[in-house]
Structure 1
Amino acid sequence: MPDAAVVDLVVVGGGINGAGIARDAAGRGLSVILCEKDDLAEGTSSRSGKLVHGGLRYLEYYEFRLVREALIEREVLLRNASHIIWPMRFVLPHSPDDRPAWLVRLGLFLYDHLGGRKRLPGTRTLDLRRDPEGAPILDTYSKGFEYSDCWVDDARLVVLNAVDAARHGAEVLTRTACTSLRRENGAWAVEFTDRATGERRQARARCIVNAAGPWVNDIVGRVAGRNSRRNVRLVKGSHIIVPKFWDGDHAYLVQNNDKRVIFINPYQGDKALIGTTDIAYEGRPEEVTADESEISYLLAAVNRYFKEKLRREDVLETFSGVRPLFDDGKGNPSAVTRDYSFDLDEADGAPMLNIYGGKITTFRELSEHAIERIAKVFPQMKPAWTGNAPLPGGDIENADFVQFAEDMRAAYPWMPRPFIYRLGRLYGTIARDIIGSATSMDGLGRDFGGGLTESEARYLVAREWALTAEDILYRRTKQALQMTARERAEFTRWFDDHIAVARAA
């Protein structure tokens, strides 16, 4: 077994909170190890609704502070990661059978003004019988509203935080489980186990941050042998993917009969992402799937509003995630707070900070607050820094992605426009590293389908911890949705023959 590394901080969990905390800490000068038992973002953080938003519906539960903080963070993230986060307009058809129009308009007024909105347009009222956004909506609904939020590539948000953590000196260990945590002489003795090889390694850390999401209490109890004063409430959220059935780049937000809201968003160009459900979940987080009742629920919500009726055979794919919400005692899963809570165990001079709850939109703020909670352990630590620091690839002038893409097209005139936009959306300014010295599409190597090239795949293996074909197809790029089954199989075969074999050698 290799000698034990000595570090300031070990972060357990490679989802959005763990990656964000590792980035923040490493940028403040701390030595950091981030470990994740699977791939980065393989759990909840790649199975979200893909939105950076304030949470319009949280206003009904009087979560004004949470909404305000999320709206402020929406502006911060849009500025610092405009390649993977971009504005989207949401059309909300009004149903007089649910919330009254004045209440919806009041909520949207608060939504426009709570967070100091600067970069996004405000709400407007729609006549669904005349405005083009109402074309696919049933004639039953004559009035609607349109407001702004943002889209995000959730898995890339996680990976880019990990990339930046590594740039600042953090060690990132994927498919490596934290299998033992013991307090010894005012520090933590940590054991990691490589899940592929079974190899174990050790470290000593002054502090542990447990950001394991749905597994947070498993780390507290089974791995560390401690008890927490907090509980996590597991809530399942399922989504379906169908062919896109309207014109335009806008999304829709509809209210179901049970007053839950359902998002219907453009996805990957020619598809639509519909979700989400909110169901209490008691199974193993690794085994979560969308069941038929959830699929029927989502289809029914859409069909209540739209002229084109979706059927079960229209569903191309489904996915489910388990949200690790802080258990505030609310019985209704939809009413459980999306806020976060910290549990700091400082026994024996070796702190362990356990993270409960949170949401993608507020991950940066959560990370900053988490580091502040353990700041007294590290008096030499530098101040907070992430608020004005672009994520890797996000150093785009004036955060203007469209202009950046046009500049890229001028620099690489041999690239098709859709290819430029796709590469830019995934990597921002880092796209130049993937292109390298190539002067033609042939110079990027084999195209496996949908624009996924050999050059891109090799970059993801070398720089973003992609260890399997699935890591690339479903998380680093989501290109699986744009490829045929044959193309996916051929890419997997190429990866196993050329990348996995080379790594084993």
Structure 2
Amino acid sequence: MASEGQQTDRYDLVVVGGGINGAGIARDAAGRGLRTLLVEQGDLANYTSSASTKLVHGGLRYLEYYEFRLVQKALKEREVLMGIAPHIIWPLRFVMPHVKELRPAWMIRMGLFLYDHLGGRNKLPGSKGLNLQTHYAGAPLKDGVTKGFMYSDCWVQDSRLVVLNCMDVEQRGGTVLPRTRCTGAERGDDEWSVELTDAVTGDVRNVHSRSVVNAAGPWVAKFLGSEMAVSNSKDVHLVKGSHIVVPKMFDHEDSYLFQNSDGRVIFAIPYEQDFTLIGTTDVAYEGNPAEATASDDEIQYLCDAVNRYFKEEIAPKDVVWTYSGVRALYDESEESDVSAVSRDYSLDLDDKGAPLLSVFGGKITTYRTLARQAVDQIAPLVGASIADWTGDEALPGGDIPDGDFEAYLAQLRRGRPWLPETMAWRLVRNYGTRIETMLGDAQSLDDLGEHFGSDCYEAELRYLAEHEWAMTAEDAIWRRSKLGLMLDSDQRERVSAWYTGQEKKRATA
């Protein structure tokens, strides 16, 4: 497991919540010299932040709801995030077939013009019209789909983005404690007394902090009332989004955005080389966000949505994996349609005594600007500087020369020609320059230790355990990587047994 920073009993800032917003806030604060502690009740990115559509995007459909400020803010962030994490964030081209009964062509052209120009665009190509009768992207589509549009956004390895931010927290002197619940907090005039409970051992400890950030995601309102005994007037909507993964439905590298008859849009995206990711739904949710799963109706909905466009149709029996996440959306409009509820965020600072800042809403694309604004609000209260540095410093593994992924991959393959091509690509896409730490002085695949199947070797599992807080097979092969898709049930059990053995070794050490 990664080291736990400089643990003390006194901090400038305790961040509760190890999703993307909490991780971004902790990184920003640690980089400004604040003694920072982040705690998360489960694994890092355990819930919502590992259950996204894996996109860094402006949100083309938000233009229909006149969310121009949110779209502009998100569009500006695309190329910033590509710059600090070129290994896990890369450009994608999206094909949007035109269905005149759903949206007129002029509306789409106008929306794409705004999308190209609202946020500034230096690295990504602009939009254009397509003849899908002759363009390669039209080949998998039904014969009646003849015209379309193409535009740019970006892909992101979402849970890895969280982990990399947390790794940077520790590299900058902060402390990260997964599987640690904040089970109580008592407020004084100048500081908080915070009770922490180890979710594995049950051990309880108390720390003191000059400020607290509530970045508990879908638990943000519940946490205020139960653990912190603070009243909350914010109207929070819990919305579940589900995705399905099926065997590859097309052979090119572009993605699709399909208009659906209910006014929503559905993505179909190349996934982990051999699969297609399809999502998402928007369903009002009640219950424990940790228990969210894709319902039969949601799975059928996603199958039906893509079957309107693809020649080769899919059914629920073709689905190899599903995942679901719950977002806490903040909205004052009393909007009944959850798809129309704003994806923007709200920061609520309570400085009546030791500062408490709560984060409502947000999306992966704007996590860095949210974090900067959050720490800027707290900074004057704890003697820190106002700063904007996180867009200039690469995340761990992102220090690829000139951000040139292909050149770095080619260099790796020249230096380690024994690495299979697809394995080398996957490792660099997940770990960037940190792959050198993982591979060490290995001269062959045999030097990577036990082989569990596909291209999963012990060296990767050990790296995840020692440097990225992975404690279980699920942490390693479903969040920090997607190796679980390539392994059969017996192989996944072997990975699980390996992690169980590592935990026993630590317990007896």
TM-score under structure 1 length normalisation: 0.98
Partner of 2:245, secondary structure, is: strand
Matched, 1:332 2:340: no
**Aligned counterparts of 1:258 and 1:156: Cα–Cα separation in 2:** 33
Match status 1:70 vs 2:74: yes
Please tell me whether residue 501 in structure 1 is matched to residue 504 in structure 2: yes
Aligned to 1:355: 359
What is residue 294 of structure 1 aligned with on the other side?
A: 298
Helix, strand or coil at the partner of 1:442: helix
Tell me whether 1:23 sits opposite 2:23 in the alignment. Answer: no
- 1:58-101, CA deviations, whole angstroms, 9 ceiling, x for partnerless residues? 00011111101101101100111110011111110000110001
Q: Unpaired runs of 5+ in structure 2?
A: 1-6
- The alignment status of 1:216 with 2:220, answered yes or no, reads yes
| Percent of aligned positions that are identical | 53
Matched-pair contact (CA < 8 Å) for 1:405–1:420: yes
Deviation per CA, 1:218-273: give whole Å up to 9, x if none: 22110010112323210010111111111101111000111100000011111111
Which digits, 9 at most, give the CA deviation of each residue in 1:336-382, with x for residues without a partner? 0000001111112x010000000000000100010011121133436
Secondary structure of 2:325's aligned partner: strand
Corresponding residue for residue 484 of structure 1: 488
Which of 155, 158, 161 is the aligned partner of 1:154?
Answer: 158
The one of 253, 270, 289 equivalent to 2:274 is 270
Query: 1:290·1:318 contact (CA, 8 Å) conserved in 2?
Result: yes
Please show how residues 77-156 of structure 1 align to structure 2 within 5 Å: 77-156=81-160
2:384 and 2:499 map into 1 onto residues whose CA distance is 44
Deviations 1:105-124 (A, max 9, x none): 11011111111111111112
Residues 86-485 of structure 1: pairs in structure 2 closer than 5 A: 86-328=90-332, 329-348=334-353, 350-381=354-385, 383-485=387-489
Contact 1:80–1:389 (8 Å) recurs in 2:
yes
1:44 to 41, 44, 48: 48
For 1:423 and 1:140, locate their aligned partners in 2 and report how far apart those are by CA, in whole Å: 40
- Separation of aligned partners in 1, 2:155 and 2:229: 40
Q: Please give the per-residue CA displacement for 1:382-411, whole angstroms capped at 9, x wherever unaligned.
A: 622101111110011111101110011112
Q: Which amino acid aligns with 1:120?
A: L
Residue deviations 1:413-441 (CA, integer Å, cap 9, x gap): 22222121111011100100001111111
Aligned residues: 501
Aligned-partner Cα distance in 2 for 1:22–1:4: 16
Partner of 2:4: none
Kindly indicate whether the alpha-carbon contact (under 8 Å) linking 2:32 and 2:384 is maintained by their aligned counterparts in 1. Answer: no
Q: Separation in 1 of the partners of 2:319 and 2:338?
A: 25
Q: Secondary structure in 2 aligned to 1:330?
A: coil
What is the CA deviation profile of residues 456-499 of structure 1, one whole-angstrom value per residue up to 9, with x for unaligned ones?
111111111111111101111111011111111111122212x1
User: Given residue 146 of structure 1, which amino acid in structure 2 is its aligned partner?
Assistant: M
Once residues 473 and 316 of structure 2 are traced to their aligned partners in structure 1, the CA distance between those partners, rounded to angstroms, is 29
Deviates more, 1:177-186 or 1:73-82: 177-186
Alpha-carbon contact 1:156-1:476 (below 8 Å) kept: yes
Question: What letter is aligned with 1:160?
Answer: L
Q: TM-score normalized by structure 2?
A: 0.97
Residue type of the alignment partner of 2:179: R
Secondary structure at 1:364 match in 2: helix
1:280-338 per-position Cα deviation (integer Å, ceiling 9, x unaligned):
11111111111111111111111111111111211111111101111332111011000
Aligned partner of 1:236: which letter?
K
Q: Distance in 2 between matches of 1:504 and 1:33?
A: 24
Question: In the alignment, does 2:65 pair up with 1:61?
Answer: yes
- Aligned AA for 2:474? E
Task: Kindly indicate whether the alpha-carbon contact (under 8 Å) linking 1:4 and 1:204 is maintained by their aligned counterparts in 2.
Answer: no
The 3-state SS of whatever aligns with 1:437 is coil
Matches of 1:453 and 1:211, distance apart in 2: 35
- Within 2, Cα distance between the matches of 1:243 and 1:456? 25
CA distance in 2, matches of 1:450, 1:400: 27
Return 279-288 or 382-391, whichever deviates more.
382-391
SS of match in other structure, 1:388: coil
Displacement of 1:4 after TM fit?
6.8
Equivalents in 1 of 2:413, 2:99: separation in Å? 44
SS in structure 2 at match of 1:480:
helix
Aligned partners of 2:357 and 2:475: how far apart in 1? 29
Partner of 1:387, secondary structure, is: coil
SS of 1:381's equivalent in the other structure is: coil
Q: Secondary structure at the match of 1:419?
A: helix
Tell me the alpha carbon deviations over residues 131-188 of structure 1, each in whole angstroms, 9 at most, x when there is no partner: 1110111111110011111111000000000000110011111100000110134210
Q: Which residue identity is paired with 2:241?
A: G
